[in-house]
Structure 1
């Protein structure tokens, strides 16, 4: 029997030791490598991994709502409402025709449009429908559930919730409010002017996603910056006054056979706008249906015009304030003036030669009378002195040719002719004395009248009463004085009396209710030829205007009406605009908006 030699055993043991050492060495390498990767390079590789899985998402802020006054209460006029976008990933749509049919049946729309979108090549995202209501979304969800039960998966179809602006009052105050487009941008009106305050600040989500790119709800590496909701805005508008103003304006325009116009109610002693109306109007929630963008603009602030004879009381205010005339002045009116080889004459049949008073100038609306008042500012003639004096009142006292700063998009400054440069300056300035050749907006005109009639303080017109941030903190807007001593108190009183005289003498012809002793009411009509785009005037197109005031012991409201191109007999101001003022003054008095005399 043979036995193994000791050298052979030693060789085997040696090999085992070498193999063991090799395994230990290899294991050590793995341990060291693991230590290096997991400890020393941990942060590096964690950041690298997160960079591939960490996605950044914007969290939209809720847009602030817009509110208005309703008597002693407050009601919303612009809200946010959740709507839904229906979308698809065409890659996962196995049966486009059948899927499109279900969607069309559910939403009551055309199947072919959906089928085409579901068959799109080269895109992973296509929008099938926007602004679905909650009820429509539920119908889609039920349809998806039914198809899943039938074994046909609703794969590739989804909905996304989005906040949209809703306007519960429909067309009410549309141009004043504006709208929010699909990109979330405020356009026109308050929505544009107050966009930065209304929109808030978006939040941010940095989230770890799974392999499909879906954010993981619970992950310590998710970073969230909460959105800050936009500020709510309370307007100075009274909803009852606004609704009635729009109704009266529309009825008056129909009566005058006019297709467009505007109206404004302004608080004389604060500058607060209580109602502001334009016609025609639109529904801000359906802005995308409007083809003519001019419909979006607020003509009260953005469409300056030649206001016509409602300028005459302001001309009188300047001449009285300068001490050139007083409310009882009597002068001889020749019924015609020749200035710069041009003729200024009257259209009123009672405007023949004779002795006239300042009351006559306003009641009979004498162009020659307005020119005569301008002449008194120049020592008896229209000259450089008269032009500079009248220009100073128009621009520096009445603030014409300047934007008011009201919270509206696209406000126009209008224009006042330069008193020192231009052709035919004397006749040009004679025309401005009765409201031709100078372009001012309805709001600018009303604000100037407020200053003249409240004793001489020009308040900046404003629409925003206050803002309320997401914490409930209110920022209240106070009346802002732009200029004091616009006219002297005695001048203010004189213009009040003169304008009251006009209404007292003409209320029947204006279709205004006979003035009541417990209320103060005054006004003036205006009729101006409409300018052509290439210069000159139309012979048969006019703008009718009426400026009026109401109050008790003091002037409380300025009301201004604009009627574009009425198609009825008589003067546009007296026949078309004055009756609208009559209805508005009745509305304000009968609804106790005006405080009577004590």
Structure 2
């Protein structure tokens, strides 16, 4: 019995020994597998794994570039960019996270209290906020609101909603608001120019976006405190210095708006040019809009009428017709013209009053259509056309502004005698108010036609002599009589300064026929002895009773010209004013 028991115990011990060996072998094999895996991970696959980790947790983000400023000729900022925040969310945040963090994230996103706080801060409907956090969305990035104020962005961050992040961007601001709206235009949410100079010079202003590497968490959100490295620094856009004088821009805008309201007009435009360079010192339009907040603005209010809209210029053409005929020797300075109604191949040209017999000065002073027609018909059609073309009609001014109009000037080969006659008092062609102002540089600067520029320059290298200086001075002297008491534009006078200018009153074309609505126009220069400024004004459809250029546009000219000359410190040239100054 004892011997059998002993054998049984020995056999059991052998069985346990075998099991121990098997366990040891299995443990050893497992250990070797772990060692092999460690070698693989730590040695063989190191680069691959590091690359995979970087691809999942190290990302590249863009750094917005600062958009260049737009400044006036004196360095005053007209358009600036300020840092703002844009709010975005990762809709899949609570799906991507794991464990307690996922539960906490999903619980917080289900908490309407915080969602309501966010909706209130961003001024957005709660339902829209909820939709942005839809975990079933296939997006990992969605903007909630672009370009909010920095203080507001900080309040959004303080709410602490998971999946919500702020990215730094820039927002464009226009300190002068609607005063410079048509000229500057505006940018979109991506800070790209959409209208005006912002569009025209977008490539210069926008700069070059930079980039950097960052660390992201499991939800692909940037951990702001952990920038890995800078890849490329953003390059700020270049500043743009305009020919505009902000002071004159404000003055012109104020007076044009007041005139439009007073005469209950549909629209208006005004341009101020520097007579000796062609620089645009101010360019304003009505109606306008606020580029800082365009909500509710009409798209039709965005266009810069002074540059893009054309109209028949009316009697403002008469000084140019007189200048062309004088310079070509087709009329004489002392020539007289009978203003009795003129019949041209079955059609009549008439004046509003019987002016009797007029000399050239009287033709401009009384604005006789009959006499202007006779002067136009004295010139060969080709010569007449070439002169109009030489002062810029029928071609764009060349400033490169979006939508810049070229107007129209029919070819002389198709003119009838009547059409040639009507061209002398501004019917049958179309111009923009900028083109009209530019044509008068030839009268203001002794026969030199200037190019026009919205960028500051000291000289005009493209000026062309289109008239003799003697002819320009003669016509300019004649135009001074237009502003005298018995002329058509007495309300264009400016105390202390000699003014030369011309009115225009034009019937508007509607549905292919002339209507009973009018355009009121005035173009003038001062001081007439040595012009520094040219101002052209157009008022579209005045409806408060008066519609003549001398009664509607001329008073606006007077207020703007008087204020501009004083702001620029131009010395008065009227003899009476000079004598008063000398006596002091």
Q: TM-score scaled to structure 1, two decimals? A: 0.80
Greater displacement, 355-364 / 521-530? 355-364
Q: Number of aligned residue pairs: give it.
A: 531
1:78 partnered with 2:55: no
1:305 partnered with 2:281: no
Say which of 248, 253, 256 aligns to 2:260. Answer: 253
The 8 Å contact of residues 482 and 489 in structure 2, kept in 1 or not, is answered as no
1:317 partnered with 2:323: yes
Map Cα deviations across residues 166-198 of structure 1 (whole Å, 9 max, x no partner): 112221111011000123221221111111110
Q: 2:402 matched to which residue of 1?
A: 409
1:551 partnered with 2:527: yes
Distance 1:442 1:156, change over 3 A: same
Say which of 559, 563, 569 aligns to 1:587. Answer: 563
Distance 1:578 1:455, change over 3 A: same
Distance 1:438 1:481, change over 3 A: farther
Q: How far apart in 1 are the matches of 2:190 and 2:87?
A: 17
1:43 is displaced (CA, Å) by: 7.5
| Residues 98-497 of structure 1 aligned to structure 2 (within 5 Å) | 98-106=113-121, 110-119=125-134, 121-122=136-137, 123-142=139-158, 144=159, 154-205=161-212, 212-213=219-220, 222=229, 224-290=231-297, 292-339=298-345, 341-346=346-351, 348-351=352-355, 354-377=356-379, 386-395=380-389, 397-421=390-414, 425-465=416-456, 477-497=457-477
| Residues 528-547 of structure 1 aligned to structure 2 (within 5 Å) | 528-532=506-510, 534-538=511-515, 540-547=516-523
Distance 1:576 1:398, change over 3 A: same
The 8 Å contact of residues 147 and 189 in structure 2, kept in 1 or not, is answered as no
The 8 Å contact of residues 64 and 234 in structure 2, kept in 1 or not, is answered as yes
Q: How far apart in 2 are the matches of 1:56 and 1:85?
A: 18
Q: How far apart in 2 are the matches of 1:194 and 1:575?
A: 39
Q: 2:96 matched to which residue of 1?
A: none
Distance 1:158 1:56, change over 3 A: closer
The 8 Å contact of residues 409 and 429 in structure 2, kept in 1 or not, is answered as yes
1:498 partnered with 2:491: no
Q: How far apart in 2 are the matches of 1:113 and 1:51?
A: 32
Q: How far apart in 1 are the matches of 2:569 and 2:462?
A: 26
1:212 is displaced (CA, Å) by: 4.9
Task: Indicate the SS of the match to 1:493.
Answer: helix
The 8 Å contact of residues 189 and 408 in structure 1, kept in 2 or not, is answered as yes
Distance 1:414 1:338, change over 3 A: same
The 8 Å contact of residues 459 and 482 in structure 1, kept in 2 or not, is answered as yes
1:447 is displaced (CA, Å) by: 0.9
Q: 1:12 matched to which residue of 2?
A: none
Map Cα deviations across residues 341-389 of structure 1 (whole Å, 9 max, x no partner): 322222x2234xx422111211111111111111111xxxxxxxx2211
Q: How far apart in 2 are the matches of 1:222 and 1:131?
A: 26
Q: How far apart in 1 are the matches of 2:40 and 2:88?
A: 46
1:241 is displaced (CA, Å) by: 1.2
The 8 Å contact of residues 78 and 176 in structure 2, kept in 1 or not, is answered as yes
Structure 2 unaligned runs (5+)? 1-24, 93-105, 579-584
1:307 is displaced (CA, Å) by: 1.0
The 8 Å contact of residues 400 and 444 in structure 1, kept in 2 or not, is answered as yes
1:461 is displaced (CA, Å) by: 0.9
Q: 1:67 matched to which residue of 2?
A: 71
The 8 Å contact of residues 561 and 580 in structure 1, kept in 2 or not, is answered as yes
Distance 1:90 1:65, change over 3 A: same
The 8 Å contact of residues 316 and 373 in structure 1, kept in 2 or not, is answered as yes
The 8 Å contact of residues 282 and 295 in structure 1, kept in 2 or not, is answered as yes
Task: Indicate the SS of the match to 1:286.
Answer: coil
1:567 is displaced (CA, Å) by: 1.5
The 8 Å contact of residues 495 and 562 in structure 2, kept in 1 or not, is answered as no
1:427 is displaced (CA, Å) by: 2.2
Q: 2:499 matched to which residue of 1?
A: 521
1:437 is displaced (CA, Å) by: 1.2
1:566 partnered with 2:542: yes
The 8 Å contact of residues 179 and 191 in structure 1, kept in 2 or not, is answered as yes
Q: How far apart in 2 are the matches of 1:184 and 1:178?
A: 12
C-alpha RMSD over aligned residues: 3.2
The 8 Å contact of residues 524 and 548 in structure 1, kept in 2 or not, is answered as yes
Q: How far apart in 1 are the matches of 2:328 and 2:562?
A: 36
Q: How far apart in 2 are the matches of 1:221 and 1:238?
A: 46
Greater displacement, 327-336 / 356-365? 327-336
Task: Indicate the SS of the match to 1:420.
Answer: helix
Structure 1 unaligned runs (5+)? 1-18, 145-152, 378-385, 466-476
The 8 Å contact of residues 525 and 546 in structure 1, kept in 2 or not, is answered as yes
Q: TM-score scaled to structure 2, two decimals? A: 0.82
Distance 1:235 1:504, change over 3 A: same
The 8 Å contact of residues 309 and 524 in structure 1, kept in 2 or not, is answered as yes
Task: Indicate the SS of the match to 1:284.
Answer: coil
The 8 Å contact of residues 189 and 407 in structure 1, kept in 2 or not, is answered as no
Q: How far apart in 2 are the matches of 1:287 and 1:302?
A: 21
